[in-house]
């Protein structure tokens, strides 16, 4: 990684993935970094259970972003990371999921590189992998889905104005991949309309995993033409993933068989 050898007093910045929320899904390396750093900058998606692992003597600074509510701008955050490292401190930049999957970790790494700061990435389980697994939804299944595509439904903003969501909907539909939309609740109507307009059957199944990998996890499923109605009716809140594709039928079969096995085991015990 880039490192300014002219100043041996510079600190280091670790871009750390906190995973989808369950503290047991933290990597060993992530936990060691959290417990040995001098300062932690953490996101909104870092769970309360993970925050309880922060050492009491370590400064923890909230820099989360929720829709249009940003505690600090991305530019200000990069400057804070650089400033702390220049003071010789070991910095933990803790992000929900994985730093390089819709986590802006690469933007921070670029800023640190240009400032001559040593940086390292500690991967985390991204939400699309952790939350779907927790919900019993396979991202791929032989003969049904040979790939998966992660899509951010969050449009970049400029001067407070949201720009058009730049997605090639036709390519998504033609891929036949399982589609996983991050930050898609506010764009549920758009996702529904654009996928159907691009040729995806309205009967294609979707699932929404709300607060995945936590005790409050909930799963909602229906046909694609009911996506917006489902979000509105159940007042689903972030964090949540929208999963679209044929694998939802596999997930339902798995759930049915698992419940049946549990019931049969209960009968044997009785």
Q: Which residue among 43, 95, 98, 187 is the active-site one?
A: 43
The answer for residues whose C-beta is within 8 angstroms of residue 82's C-beta and 6 or more apart is 111, 112, 115, 117
Q: Is 43 a catalytic residue?
A: yes
Let me know: does 243 contact 259? Beta carbons within 8 Å: no
Residue whose tokens read 């044929």: 246
Catalytic residue among 4, 32, 51, 65: 65
Task: For residue 222, indicate whether it is catalytic.
Answer: no
How far is the CA of 140 from the CAs of 9, 128, 162, 180, 248, in angstroms? 47, 12, 33, 12, 10
- CA dist 131 and 136 (Å) reads 9
Q: Find the helix or strand (DSSP H, E) in which 122 lies.
A: strand 118-122
List, as own/partner pairs, every contact residues 152-158 make where C-beta atoms lie below 8 angstroms and the sequence separation is at least 24, other chains included: 152/102, 152/181, 152/182, 152/183, 153/181, 153/182, 153/183, 153/184, 153/186, 153/187, 153/190, 153/191, 153/242, 154/102, 154/182, 154/183, 157/68
Closest CA to 97 of 214, 36, 16: 16
Q: Looking at the annotation, which residues are catalytic? A: 43, 65
């Amino acid at each position: 990684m880039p490192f300014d050898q002219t100043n041996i007093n510079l600190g280091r910045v670790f871009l750390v993935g906190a995973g989808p929320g369950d503290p047991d899904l933290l990597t060993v390396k992530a936990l060691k970094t959290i417990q040995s750093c001098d300062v932690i900058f953490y996101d909104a998606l870092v769970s309360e259970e993970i925050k309880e692992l922060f050492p009491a003597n370590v400064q923890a600074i909230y820099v989360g972003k929720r829709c249009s509510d940003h505690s600090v701008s991305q530019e200000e955050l990069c400057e804070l990371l650089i400033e702390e490292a220049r003071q010789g401190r070991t910095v933990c930049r803790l992000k929900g999921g994985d730093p390089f999957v819709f986590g802006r970790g690469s933007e921070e790494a670029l800023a640190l590189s240009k400032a001559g700061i040593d940086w390292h990435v500690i991967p985390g389980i991204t939400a699309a992998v952790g939350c779907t697994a927790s919900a019993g939804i396979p991202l791929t299944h032989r003969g049904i889905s040979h790939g998966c595509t992660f899509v951010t439904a969050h449009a970049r903003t400029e001067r407070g104005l949201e720009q058009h969501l730049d997605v090639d909907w036709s390519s998504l539909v033609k891929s036949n991949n399982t589609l996983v939309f991050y930050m898609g609740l506010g764009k549920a109507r758009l996702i529904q309309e654009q996928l159907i307009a691009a040729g995806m059957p309205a009967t294609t199944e979707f699932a929404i995993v709300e607060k995945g990998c936590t005790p409050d996890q909930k799963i909602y499923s229906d046909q694609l033409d009911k996506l917006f109605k489902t979000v509105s009716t159940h007042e689903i809140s972030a964090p949540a993933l929208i999963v679209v594709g044929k694998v939802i039928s596999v997930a339902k079969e798995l759930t049915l068989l698992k419940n049946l096995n549990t019931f049969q085991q209960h009968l044997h015990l009785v």
